[in-house]
Structure 1
Amino acid sequence: MRSAVIVNPVKVPDRDVLHRTIVDALTAAGWPEPMWLETTVGDPGSGQARQAVRDGAELVFACGGDGTVMSCVTVLAGTDIALAVLPAGISNLLAASLGLTGDVAAGIEVVLQGGRRRIDVGCVGEQSFAVMAGMGFDVQMLVATNDDTASKPVGWLAWFAGAVRHLRDRPMRIRLILDDRLSFNRRPCAVIVGNAGRLRGGMRLLDDAPPEDGLLDVTVLSPRTLGHWLSPGWAVLRRKEVVPCMETFTASRVEIRSNRVQPRQLDGDPIESGKQLLVTVRPQALLLCVPCPTTDPGVATAGGDPSAIQHRVHRVDKRM
């Protein structure tokens, strides 16, 4: 199988070791030597992924952070070219959802075992994402946890610390429109539109987010005080069915309109701030290399009616 490695050199401490590890493993499996394409400051991976497609790659290794993986997802969505994630540096959101670590050898073994799955991708303009998009202060939380502590078992503590730093931020005033049929107003701190639900540090936010059902899961977070944050944080950590200060919905088209400019992110990578976030879904558009057999709940097979809107209100604190 012809393959290409798209690597962010900034994220890799020793490119020679990485190159040798990948080439040796693929050669031992009878694969030809892969193409080697490095990202640049001006291009985090889109141009390299397009070159890999032009040059006949059947599989692309994305070795970098969230930006590199998202760039590859955008280019490969809608093709039959498989994407393999080799997280470099801090584990990115897609790697976390797959249960992958920064062990390159383990990541290559996942590829060689042959596990493949088609998953949905979310779209915001011309960009695509595999895990989640967000609007509001979740962007600051993700940035705040983008360090070594976030990839450790206690990474949720860093995530919570990031939340505490922004407790005094004004909530947004938004209108949330689902599939052009359901529309309502809210005053949340953040809205997250997800395709899979595991954050850094193993924390799950969207447990009911099967990534191949043609639907997007929407989480509206509305805590106002430290006590409000403690309650949903503890409930999410313990995977409780009832989560205070949080509402969830599902739809295939999600539009968020804010009264003022808000920070936004795709797969943990900040994008240009704006007053609107329009998210659509491309069902089963991405061929992804996954552990075989797949037992992780975050990538479990599940069905769903893409035309249906489901509303699951966990609980809204009436004091807010």
Structure 2
Amino acid sequence: MKEKIKKACAIWNPIAGNVRRNEKNIDLAIDFFKQKGYEIVKKATVGPLTATQIARDAAYNGAEYIIAIGGDGTINEVLNGMHDTNAILGIVPMGTANLLARQINIPTNTVKALKSLDNVDIQEVSLGKANDRYFILMTGIGFDGYIISKITSNLKTKYGKLAFAYHATIESFLYSYPVFSMKINGRELTSAFAIVALSKEYGGLFSLTPKANLQSEQFQVCIFHKRGPFTFWKYFISALFRMHDKLPDVTLEYADTIEVYSEEKVWSQIDGELFTQLPVKISIVPKGLKLLVPRTAKHSFPTYKESR
């Protein structure tokens, strides 16, 4: 019996991380999926949030698979266009941080990434919803949102993680660390920086939410209560050595709904991209997305199911 042709749309961001410097890898990825039996159309984004519309149009026009080629920001835009469809998301990492790829054991080297996708299964994963936007990794409130608001797309493309490191170092001494409130599990907590996550990974160096899981029906939430530059560096060093959860002024919680608000101007980010100023209401969407996952990532999924 002839194998059914799988219709797919590959969406790539021309200015994401390594994409501009490795456009030949785009063709390599497209050829890989064609050889795997996909009838694939390639579409480039032309500006912010255009990947969302491309993904939505592709899904509603019969694409069974949407392949996001780029970084976590591109993936976020794509999933926002397909979360309420039956389409399945695949990723080829070519961005700055590539946290989702790290989480599901896809190498950042394109050849190795494609090799890892040679043996995959479809897994249902949860999504977070922040106001009217969906995310798959995390929402950050406070310092990281502020830093991202300072970094232009040109700086990010040219310097990658160094742009974040530079601005974070400088702004750690200049930032006012405005306080905000979090309504969580029937309590109201105050914070100067917080992460609401489905991913263990944060920033490539840290694991602020070590028990977060892409298939969980609850977020793991990391709340840093105190403020100020010296407190920031105390948190930074503790988190670097994965000892932040031992600090008395750090709280780790599990929750499926969180409300965050402030009388001050506080920025937030989702999946490493600037989102909005507070207030933000965050909720979880269990089994909100179907994702192509290499079988080598079985250990990261408590309810891993083989597709065949």
* Equivalent in the alignment of 1:250: 254
Q: Secondary structure at the match of 1:26?
A: helix
Q: Secondary structure at the match of 1:9?
A: coil
TM-score by length of 1: 0.80
* 1:79 pairs with 2:80: no
* Equivalent in the alignment of 2:118: 112
Query: Identity across aligned pairs (percent)?
Result: 19
Alpha-carbon distance, 1:250 to partner: 1.4
Contact 1:150 1:201 survives alignment (8 Å): no
Contact 1:90 1:148 survives alignment (8 Å): no
Matches within 5 A, 1:150-161: 159=165
Letter in 2 for 1:267: D
Contact 1:23 1:33 survives alignment (8 Å): no
- State the distance in 1 between where 2:8 and 2:28 align: 15
- For structure 2, list consecutive stretches of 5 or more residues without a partner in the other structure: 1-5
* 1:222 pairs with 2:228: no
- State the distance in 1 between where 2:206 and 2:158 align: 15
- State the distance in 2 between where 1:276 and 1:176 align: 10
- State the distance in 1 between where 2:170 and 2:226 align: 11
Matches within 5 A, 1:87-102: 87-102=93-108
Matches within 5 A, 1:108-257: 108-142=114-148, 146=156, 159=165, 162=168, 165-179=171-185, 182-186=186-190, 188-240=191-243, 241-243=245-247, 245-257=249-261
Distance 1:159 1:220, change over 3 A: farther
* Equivalent in the alignment of 1:282: 285
Alpha-carbon distance, 1:101 to partner: 3.9
Alpha-carbon distance, 1:14 to partner: 6.0
Contact 1:255 1:278 survives alignment (8 Å): yes
Alpha-carbon distance, 1:173 to partner: 3.1
* Equivalent in the alignment of 2:53: 47
Q: Secondary structure at the match of 1:24?
A: helix
- State the distance in 1 between where 2:250 and 2:166 align: 16
* 1:263 pairs with 2:270: no
* Equivalent in the alignment of 2:8: 3
Alpha-carbon distance, 1:125 to partner: 2.5
Task: Note the aligned Cα RMSD (angstroms).
Answer: 2.9
Distance 1:47 1:106, change over 3 A: same
- State the distance in 2 between where 1:88 and 1:265 align: 20
| Correspondence for 2:62 among 24, 34, 56 | 56
Contact 1:232 1:244 survives alignment (8 Å): no
- State the distance in 2 between where 1:42 and 1:141 align: 19
TM-score by length of 2: 0.82
Q: Secondary structure at the match of 2:31?
A: helix
| Correspondence for 2:41 among 35, 43, 47 | 35
| Correspondence for 2:32 among 25, 30, 47 | 25
